[in-house]
Chain A
Amino acid sequence: MASACEKDFDEINTNPNAVVDVPAMQLLPGSIEAIADRINNSYEMLQTTSNWIQHICIYNSWNPMQRFELDKFRLSLFTGMYTEPLMDLNLMIKKALEEGNDGLYGVALVMYTYSFATVTDAFGDVPYSEAFRLDEDINKPVYDSQESIYQALLDSLGVANTVLKTSDNLTLPNGYDPLYNGDTQKWRKFANSLRVRILMRESGEADISTGLSQIISNPSEYPIFESQSESAFYKYSGNGAGNDYPLASTFENSSPTGGIRVSKTLVDYMLSTNDPRLPKYAELNKDNQYVGLSHFVATTGDEEPNEFSQINADLGTRDHTVELLEYSEIMFLLAEARLKSYITAGDAEVYYNKAVEASCQKFGVDPAETEDFITNDITFDGSPQQIYQQKWVSLFMQGHEAWAEYRRTQSPVLQLPLNALYDVIPYRFYYPESEDLLNKANKDAAAALMNNGDELDSKIWWIE
């Protein structure tokens, strides 16, 4: 009787709407898009990081994020990174290994490292070693120290460099590798360039000269980006079906009387240096001028329409290309490294000039104008501050990275915004509210290790 009552049940309960298993490569395009989505959304990039480091400014002085008032539950960077790209990449690493696909394994390691670095840079200590092990019934992963995570990330990139070296190019259908279309050597350059970023980030806390020199002195073993075109850029498809540049909406709906504007801090600085990128960053205001919105003066809501410069609409198209890691940034880092003698190869000024040039090139500045700008307006003065300042300018619309580098270098000097709730520009994000509910003991233990607990002004490890 029982068996008659269960006839066909297994078949009936087999889900026809989803695949049970996929090869590793199927996890790649979604992961990359998910990462790009996470670091380019309105709340966690524009309204917080870009706003805090005064690239952009938001109308209405009471805007809570302007003065560092943040809702824990709205933070999706942490939760979104773990559940989307990281979970998928974690599985992709396992699957690529099972499939014996070294190239894909290396690619997965690079993206996994990239994502984890973004998470730990924003929060500090986070779960790493026990993450993604629910199948082993680990539902409350412990938090690992940022220091140990950094070491693990560097190790992973080392492995990636090795496996990618010996791998043939990936044979992937069109669009499956939106960054390098299966070119493993370019992935290798991305891996090592990312290593440069991570090493430089921890340079205040760890001795990085050996590690960095190893890369710079041996380009055949550790190739890095050699031009802006080799940067890790992701181009959105812009097909209107959820695959648009997440900030396109902010641009399309930006109102003449409110919303987001370029910050006065940035506009004033760029005006002072005759920066040819300013027209690429900002729109003219109603009086045909570049006027930034100030973080230090309250807006009343009675301002005239388009009194302040909007962000250039070209930076907000639906099929916009976003930066994961660019050549320009690596050159800035090497300029700094050379200046601080972490490396001995190359010349700081050359690196600096290449960095600015690459950035201007990306924004479509006329090469002659760029040269003029580099030669006459921002001539290298041999100070790290100048490098930091120019890097800050070049990282416009890369809020997370700009914020991270600002925190590391504390440059340029930024005045606190009106009614700031903290006496520093935030060092980190709060852990999300969900961790309070679901992994409290581990989260609290991690918070207790910081100088001020789970607060925005608690220093994470690599902040000096």
Chain B
Amino acid sequence: MKIHLLKNTKKSKKHKALIIMKMLSFFLIVFALPLNANTYSQSKKISLSLENVTIREVFSEIENQSEFDFFYNNSVVDESVIVSIKAHNKTINSILNKLLKPLDLDFSVYDKDILITNLKESVENILPVIDLITQVSDTVRGTVVDESGMTIPGASVYIKDISSIGTITDANGKFQLVVPNLNEVLVISYVGYETQEIPVNGRKSLEVILKSSLINVEEVVVTAMGISRETKSLGYAITNLNSEEITESSATNFANALAGKVPGVQIASSSGDVGSSTRITIRGVTSLSGENSPLIVVDGIPIDNSSRSSWTVDWGSGLNDLNMQDVEEMTILKGASASALYGSRAAKGAIIIKTKSGRSSRGLGIRLTSRATFYKPFILPKFQNTYGAGYNVDTYNYWTGNTGGGYGPKLGDGQYFVQINSPMMRDADGNIMYDENGIPVFQPLAWEAKKDMNEFFELGLDLINSVEISNSSDKYSARLSLSNTKTNGMVYNTDYAKNDISFSGDYKVTDNFSFNANVQYHTGGSDNRTYGNNYPENAVKSALFMPANYDFDFLRDYQNHASMGIPLTDFVYPGTNEGIKALNWDRGDYYPNPYFLLDNKLLQYDFSKLLAIIGFNFDINSWLSLSGKIAKESNSQVYEDKANDGIRHWTGSVYSYKGFYNYSAITMDNTTMNFILRANKTINEFSINSFIGGEQYDYIYKSNGYNIPELTISGFFHPDNAAGETTVNKYMSRKKVNSLFGSMEIGYHSGLFLEITGRNDWSSTLPAENRSYFYPSIKLAGLIHEFVSLPQWLSFLKVRASLAQVGADTNPYNLSPVFGSRNQITGIYEATVQNSLNNPTLKPERTRSWETGLDMRLFKGRLNLDLSYYQSKSFDQIMRIDVSQTTGYNSRYINVGEIDNEGIELAVTLVPVQTTNIDWEIVLNYSKNKNTVVELAEGVERLQIGSGIYTARSYAVPDRPYGEIYGYGFQRNENGDIITVDGYTPRTDELIPLGNILPDWIGGAMSTFRYKNITAGILLDVRMGGNLESATVNWLRRDGLTTETNVAEMRENGVVIDGVMNVGTDEEPVWVKNNISIPFSDFLSTTNEYYNDESMIFDASYIKLKELSLYYSVPPSLTRKFWVQNLRVGLVARNVALLYANVPHIDPETSLNSLDSGQGWETFNTPSRRSINVSLILDF
């Protein structure tokens, strides 16, 4: 209900706000107001003479002449109706009778407040009230003031236990109330103040002082199914971020903006690549089989957020497509309780995004935003620059020594060797000189340190410019936003660009029927991205492993080497690759020239997303409304992998250098339709908020592509140019879920809320007998302070508890067995039994959880605590479990397994200073989740989740937390000393536990400090516990490239490993300290080499100074003359410092990608970004 207030007199902003509050209260009790005789309205005489003016102008004129205030609902009074009126010294009643009756409007006068209503409605509503008046006997008058003596207009005053008899205070804080007798108790309440009960005790005049509760209890959030709720009524924990909190973090995507800010939510960035993805896990891992990302909901419509990451390239995820500028607020629903209504897809939590609408600005609003982010790597490995390439500290042979990264001779010692940049020697006539074998003679060059990793990583730039235009009136609202993003990666020749356009609008067709629409279109892509993981195509890996005597400038210039007299390296490999030339492929297949790679192996990406939501709202009557939506999300993604001659790639059976083209086009179409019938009614002290609804979700995925293993002409990427057989891929899947759901929340005295929800899903992915499944939730929230008198320092105390179950279905086509086909040969269908056995008796998965929590505000809101405890149990999981391959299958689908989570979340808000000029707020959050894999399938000892570069893998193991890392380690004796044999360290015979990928706890600390127009913020992000494998650290050490390998003594004289050796027998060992020296390169390789995973595993804990920000709002007085209402400039630094970490050389906040299987593994990732962001926001 929209209430319009007319008052042309200039009032302070604060006063205006009070009037709005007053009106809200007014409406709450309006049905019950007595039509008492009113002296002012009878005595005040008004004169008017107006012709052809709007009715609104008439009201204004009356307000100007008198103390009357008009109140009405916009849906009732059409302000634009043109009227003419003449009156001389008439009472308000006679004027309004004449004016309003022809318009089918009625009015009621309450002292100086005039309520205009619909004629029909008012009769209905007012009649019962009249009955009450007959009982009245006495009038109590009074004034309501706050602690400082200021009057409080709009406070509600009613008789205890007879809330139907009441009134509100006028603009001067005064009230008069007709009471049955003078022994009643009056209840006086006002938003933001503590409710008071005053026994009248025979008095006819009272002064009531209301104490401020300093709390914004009317905080409203968007919850499941897009329903707005007051936070206070929720029986579960919820976290809400507004648009500023998201956009001002200058994070690269939504998910990163959440880091460190939301208790219970773990954010893990994968790498610093352009458009890379981020993993979000809410309250721990609950699914053993699928992925554990939350559902993303935009304006009530779930959208696709499936990861586009693969083992080799991180293409991002659906969340990357959206425009952060369009977001008004983001709500994180954590437990099953919060998300129970979204069903299956929200079993892992949900992130609810509400986009901005034109309603936020009254009249034309224009905002221009410009953000520029500059970035460089956050943490780079520390390289030694003392020793160059080779295997031998004494000499270097260019032709054989290049795979030995850093065991070579000392640099800068005046030595000369033939090196990568050596030109061919020429005689006096300019002819190439040859040796006796006919091989050109190369010129030895000075052996010097040249590698500088900072040269390889360029200055990255993100540029985001956007325009937002919005406008609204009573009939319509509209908002248009345009945004352009342009990113140049830190890695040479990588980029990302995106354009967004979105329109949202609504239109009120009649008083009770409106349409709304939100259409967004996002399109963009990359001309090239980096290839990741342990592949020779990974340019970052290649660069990291360049020996210290290599020069990136020289490598970048590879196309000019021939003219410098440096020959192209010829392939001398036999077979079909003979004769192909690649530039500087001189470190073998595994470390190609990174610039050659980045120029000739292109990973291209194009996407577009169209999200169109069209809805209506129909107010059937004052408490019942029907709304419906139809939404279409269309995603189109094209991935291209293009290789020119000289790039090594796997064709499926051989490595080839003869070009390659892979094309893959994916479309994903979601259609969602829903309707919701909502009933909101207050009956005496009970409020009822309820709805029922239905939804249909239809998801269609299609992929089409082809793979050309080799090309005839290099650089032409087209099927016509295929050498060998083109493989064609086609896949399509579809899933449909129909649902019915309902919710009822009953509030008592605005202090006790009970909510019950239920949802039934019918999923096409499950067998007929199991495809319908129901899940309920029950939630209770109690505001203790509303019922019990608490000590003065404790102004707000809420307890909450909830219990819920969520069901989940599976992917399409997991039920009946089908055949697969082996590699394509034209004309032959090589059928093969699918390696996984499907299961026609699958049941839905279940997660059952309960939580309880406490929300308290102390010392007038200066200290707020929000504490949650939860437990969840996920069972009947649909898992593809491995079976002995002797069954003929690798795996089969069954319902099995249980995974439990238990945790606490704590958020503390401190407001040490709050004055007109200074605000200082500190928010601390902490969350600890204890995860236990309770059971896997019978006889399955562990279930693999992911795997590292060698033998280490992550597993789900019963009675242990999800993500146990197993691998080979050092053999140790009973004292835990490392065993050496002949100076070397043998590895264990079996895989042993080496750690776990999950953190023990995560937390954050945020502080914002405002002095007048300047706001400064700081954010710390904390992760404690858990492990990761870093192949980067391990390999760089192995190759003798990092600073800790820069030990002359070891390089020259060998190493005695700190361990023990057995001088007894195998049966009766006698351990003494190892004294056998081994060569340095052997030491590095045996302790860091293949087959020993332990030396790669590190503690993943960190404390990061994640963000420092400074914003300045230029005072409007300075900007107005340029038509600028608001001008805000900001400076934000992200990933400022790593304050604590136990892994050297890399940022511990990293993973291969955002998939479950990618967690815990750092394998030559592009380093994460350290960035500086400059932003400018202009509002017109």
Contacts and interface: CB of A to CB of B under 8 A. Distances in A.
Interface of A: 1-2, 5-6, 8-10, 12-22, 26-27, 29-31, 33-34, 64, 71, 73, 78-79, 82-84, 86-88, 90-91, 126-127, 130-135, 138-141, 173-176, 237, 239-246, 248-249, 251-257, 283, 301-303, 305, 310, 313, 316-318, 432, 434-435, 437-440
- Which bracket fits the contact residues of B? 35 or more
Contacts of A135: 837
B765 A310 contact: no
A6 B768 contact: yes
A175 B825 contact: yes
Nearest to A257: B400
B837 A13 contact: no
A377 B655 CA distance: 40
B762 A6 contact: yes
A91 B391 CA distance: 55
B654 A248 contact: yes
Nearest to B739: A5
A175 B573 contact: no
A142 to B, nearest CB: 9
B759 to A, nearest CB: 13
12 contacts: A13-B812, A17-B733, A22-B831, A241-B652, A241-B725, A244-B653, A251-B575, A252-B573, A253-B589, A255-B588, A318-B576, A438-B885
B727 A252 contact: no
B837 A134 contact: yes
A127 B832 contact: no
A435 B883 CA distance: 9
A79 B825 CA distance: 24
Contacts of A15: 812-813, 816, 818
A456 to B, nearest CB: 13
Given A131-B887, A140-B939, A437-B940, A6 B772 contact: yes
Nearest to A141: B886
A255 B667 CA distance: 43
A90 B887 CA distance: 11
B843 to A, nearest CB: 15
B4 interface: no
Contacts of A252: 573-577, 654-656
Contacts of A87: 832-833, 888-889
B244 interface: no
Given A139-B884, A237-B825, 17 more contacts: A5-B738, A6-B764, A6-B771, A12-B812, A17-B733, A30-B832, A86-B888, A141-B884, A240-B651, A240-B653, A301-B400, A302-B391, A305-B399, A318-B576, A438-B882, A438-B939, A440-B941
Given A13-B812, A134-B883, A248-B653, A302 B400 contact: yes
A167 to B, nearest CB: 22
A16 B732 contact: yes
B976 interface: no
Interface string B744-762: 0000000000000000001
A417 to B, nearest CB: 18
Interface string B811-855: 011011111111111111111111101000000000000000000
A20 B818 contact: yes
Contact of B890 (A6, A83, A317): A83
A249 B731 contact: no
Contact of A83 (B710, B768, B835, B939): B835
B831 A30 contact: yes
A337 B1068 CA distance: 51
Contacts of B408: none
Contacts of B391: 301-302
Contacts of B397: 302
A134 B887 contact: yes
A9 B736 contact: yes
B149 interface: no
B654 A131 contact: no
Contacts of A237: 825
A246 B574 contact: no
A175 B824 contact: no
B817 to A, nearest CB: 8
A173 B654 contact: no
Q: Which of B710, B817, B826, B830 has the most CB of A within 10 A?
A: B830
Q: Which of A30, A64, A82, A173 has the most CB of B within 10 A?
A: A30
B841 to A, nearest CB: 12
- Interface SS, B side: loop
A240 B655 contact: no
A64 B1091 contact: yes
B889 A134 contact: yes
Given A73-B951, A241-B824, A17 B651 contact: no
B764 A12 contact: yes
B827 A174 contact: yes
B724 A241 contact: yes
Interface string B143-163: 000000000000000000000
A438 B951 contact: no
Q: Which of A86, A253, A313 has the most CB of B within 10 A?
A: A253
B765 A13 contact: yes
Given A15-B818, A30-B831, A141-B884, A10 B652 contact: no
Contacts of B768: 6, 9-10
A415 B402 CA distance: 34
A394 B400 CA distance: 35
B725 to A, nearest CB: 4
A143 to B, nearest CB: 9
A303 B401 CA distance: 11
Contacts of A141: 884, 886-887
Contacts of B941: 437, 440
Contact of A17 (B730, B887, B890, B1091): B730
B735 interface: yes
A141 B654 CA distance: 35
A4 to B, nearest CB: 8
B426 interface: no
B736 A88 contact: no
Nearest to A306: B572
A79 B885 CA distance: 5
B762 A9 contact: yes
Contacts of A257: 399-400
Nearest to B728: A241
B734 interface: yes
A18 B819 contact: yes
Contacts of B828: 29, 173, 175-176
B940 A438 contact: yes
Nearest to A2: B772
B556 interface: no
Given A252-B574, A302-B397, A90 B888 contact: yes
A174 B651 CA distance: 25
Contact of B888 (A132, A239, A283, A432): A132
Contacts of B653: 240-246, 248-249, 318
Nearest to B815: A13
A437 B891 CA distance: 13
Contacts of B400: 257, 301-303
A174 B884 CA distance: 35
B887 A71 contact: no
A254 B588 CA distance: 11
B822 A439 contact: no
A91 B886 CA distance: 14
B764 A9 contact: yes
B709 interface: yes
B576 A140 contact: no
A133 B884 CA distance: 11
Contact of A241 (B589, B736, B823, B886): B823
A19 B818 contact: yes
Contacts of A91: 833
Contacts of B821: 30
A310 B732 contact: no
A26 B829 contact: yes
A253 B536 CA distance: 14
B942 interface: yes
A317 B822 CA distance: 21
